[in-house]
Structure 1
Amino acid sequence: MKRLDTRVLHYLLLIALISAGNTESAGAQQPVHMDSGTVLLENFEHDTTGKLPHKWYDRDGNKKLINHDESFSKNYLYKVDEEGDNKFLRYKGSRAKHINLPLINKDKDNIYNINIFETPILSWKVRAHKLPHNAREDDDDYNDSVASVYVVFDMGRVAFFKKVPKTIRYTWSSTLEEGSTASKLFGNQQIKVVKSGNEDTGKWITFERNLVQDYRRLFGDDPPRTPMAILVMSDGNSTGSWVKADYDDIMLKPQKEQKAIEVK
């Protein structure tokens, strides 16, 4: 029998805690609504270079990364970096740990006043530098990714004797074909490959996906109006790879003219 990826167990714990609510209040986060109707979730511009981002929580959703002591936070290989007048999040290393940005706090408040039927386009930027060797997200033994963005929704079907949230994972894969899909956790996690291989490494790429359309296509029903959290993860531990990637400008946009992938 194939081993159960330890990240699946961590993921189950993570989303159970997210669904129960974070232990810290996230109410201090201030939403940024642009004139275009776009909701800016994160651009890292108010973070300190060389530190963990101040709005993001640990893997298990217990408290903000910046509120942990150094012995704990050193295991999270994400740091805010800066080039010119732009700040962004950088990952360097092999260890697999999600970080999460809650969109609903422990009191079930909609922190950013999000309604994805009004702002269905999830937009984010990734710059991949070094991909994990021969990794593939559909195989637990090789389940590494240079950059994945997860959108966590409401409770799905039973997996491992508990209900877990439905999640869409958008990933830049080392080997899986762009546009392909995979499924895990009894269908509760749906994986969508938005980029594949080493082409365009070292360049900023803007990805845009229609969450409502993707959710309907992948799960067969309508999504809740507000996702529970956004997660990001880069890693190379399953393949023994060293990985480097950057993230920036995570936002929800109205459906006007959805751009194709933008490469810079």
Structure 2
Amino acid sequence: MLRLMIILLMGLNVAYAAANPINNYFSYDKKIIDCSDYEFRNYVLPQVKNIISEFYLFLRKVDPINNDLVNLKLEIQSLFYTWDDLSNLCAKDQTKCNNELSSFYKQAGVVDKRITTLQSQQLLVGPIDNFMIDNRLFLTHTLYELANLNYRLVHKIERLMVKTSANNENISAELRFELQPVIQEMKLTSELMLASLMGEELRDNINFVYMNYIKLLEDFVVRKNNKDYLIEGLEETNIAWNTFHMKMTKGLRSVAPSNMNLITTMHNRWVGILKVILDR
């Protein structure tokens, strides 16, 4: 099911970009870019973080029900980052690894409670419009998948905890490769869930900008503190954002003007980042 969702989403992104062509506002030569570490650390990175925060604030303001979906997505993202850090730690220090593995286990338990709460809320939902039935069914199925994935994750963590407590074995390889497929699928599934309760047009826009812009900023620029990644992918990232911004501001009428102000703020921040990087 998830593989089908990924294929469909990739097709959507290609079709979306093809149907909404836009010129890249900033043509540039990567060889002459001179963004210092100081500029990246003190201006670019804080502005990128603000853009990400405002994206989630936009989702929350569009409909209060999105608040729970955003919270779950961010908790699963945090769980994924913890796993990544723990995998690196366990390759170096087994004692610290054992201590942090217990914390990771507790964090997975928090995610489980969040999923269960959301599932209960879905069961209590009253009458809904016909156009929302498919959305609700998709969300219900997604929460079911996340619950199963998290159960598998917790089971694997428990097995590793028993193994380390009994034999004090180094579990770094197992932690990395056995847990990786499960937790990566959890992360992607939670990302695909973000816009699940929105109308079709807005949902397509949000999925597109998340997968082609926000996700890259989160996972590589902010998470990895990677200036080079931002510069290398600047043209593609800029086109993705401009496509989204044009579609939202020129063609979409289903979002309140007060919420659209957030999109304008994000756009102004992005233009400011480009000006610093390209020294314009």
TM bucket (normalised to shorter chain) is under 0.3
TM-score using structure 1 length: 0.27
Which structure has more RCO (C-alpha within 8 Å, separation ≥ 6)? 2
Q: Higher helix fraction: Structure 1 or Structure 2? A: 2
| Higher CA-based Rg | 2
* Higher strand proportion: 1
What TM-score, normalized to structure 2? Answer: 0.26
